[in-house]
Amino acid sequence: MDLVIQPGMTYYRIANTFKIPLSQLINANPYTNPNMLRIGQVINIPYYQTQPYSIQNGDTLWKISQENQIPMEQILAANPVDPYQLRIGDSITLPVRIREDILEFNQPYTSDQLEEDLFTLVNLFPFITLREIGRSVMNKPIYEVSIGEGDKHVHINGSFHANESITSSVIMRFLHDYLLSLSSNEPIRGVDMNTFYNQITLSLVPMVNPDGVDLLNEGLPNEEEFRDLVLSINNQSTNFNNWKANIRGVDLNNQFPANWQIESNRKRQQPSPRDYPGPSPLSEPEAIALANLVEEKDFDRVLALHTQGKVIYWGYEGFEPSEAQSIVNEYGRVSGYVPIRYVDSHAGFKDWFIQDYRRPGYTVELGRGTNPLPFRQFEEIYEKTLGIFLVNLNI
């Protein structure tokens, strides 16, 4: 909600009026100086939407406040009007705090729908940061969302694999519920999300592989070059349920420089719907984007969401730090998923992170069944994963 600065307004006063943590109000307006507000300047108030109201016979601001359950000071702040000079037919703005669901989670994401939903959230909650960290082979944006102010930096990503796009929905649902919890000041499973916000800086990349996800969920691309390429790779079949790769037939989770040559020698030797590590480590723009992000942000831990199996892989070649086990045990306790330390696999995102940074990294295999998992499993998967998200506050 946009607010026009009136005489006497300060950030502290506005934060108190609208019951918003001062830091979040300041973060929502990165291009303003909180110590130099000017009359007539417009700032953004997170958590609020505006609702027009037409003055009727007998209306007073007190009556409007009571009937709409909106504090009088908020109505006055949103409307630079004389409360004793209301005229029938005049329009004022009612600031309404967001408490209801904003997004719908009833079908798998495409990259376009993800972008639309991300823009919706950042417009309503402008203290979150949305940016492109790279572009896919087909030049589709790969987005990172950042939220929080804590010293603990946690990264979570999804949809490395095309036929695992339910993971994008899980990440977006958590972001959505987190923001609604902040707005309503209601905890999630007993966790105060304002405390979460203050102690954890969370980085989310909901869709690492937008080209692959769109291939699975929308079918053949319109561009002749890519349409011909994927048909060739997929033996002319238009059934892409087995497609894990990016649009060039490279498995993005076999792209990282952690014994990449071992995987290259024993995996497919040409572009394929799955399991081709590519011509070299980090040959694909999607993998490069994630590697650059990790190098830039220096995360304390990373979680890559995949499907399926209800297991959590957490070790790599003995490089994992000692605290990684206690963390994964807690993840397992709240989710019911089984921790597995070692598996004969290399060149994955978490393998590389553990190897190069010697910090905790996890591959979380959500749900159980055959990929792509049916979307009817979404609610159950989300509830299991929600516990993993929340316990990051205390471990």
Cβ 207 vs Cβ 158: under 8 Å: yes
The angle, 0 to 180 degrees and rounded to 10, between the axes of the packed helices 349-357 and 285-297 is 30
What is the Cα–Cα distance from 105 to 100, expressed in whole angstroms?
A: 14
Other CB atoms within 10 Å distance of the CB of residue 329: 13
The first and second tokens of residue 335, run together, are 């989710």
Nearest Cα to 389, choosing from 378, 293, 381? Answer: 381
Count of residues making up the chain: 395
What is the Cα–Cα distance from 346 to 317, expressed in whole angstroms?
A: 9
Nearest Cα to 40, choosing from 9, 17, 13? Answer: 9
Q: Which residues pair with 191 in a beta bridge?
A: 188
DSSP string for 18-67: HT--HHHHHHT-TTS-TT---TT-EEE-TTEEEEEEE--TT--HHHHHHH
**Dihedral of the CA atoms 253, 177, 14, 128 (nearest 10)?**
10
Q: Which residues contact 307 (CB under 8 A, 6 or more apart)?
A: 164, 166, 167, 365, 366, 367, 371, 372, 373, 381
DSSP category for residue 377: G
User: Would residue 365 show up in a list of annotated catalytic residues for this protein?
Assistant: yes
- Cis-peptide into 285, omega within 30 deg: no
Q: Which of 73, 365, 379, 383 is catalytic?
A: 365
Please calculate the CA angle 255-258-259 and round it to the nearest 5 degrees: 100
Cβ 275 vs Cβ 244: under 8 Å: yes
Hey, which residues are catalytic here? 365
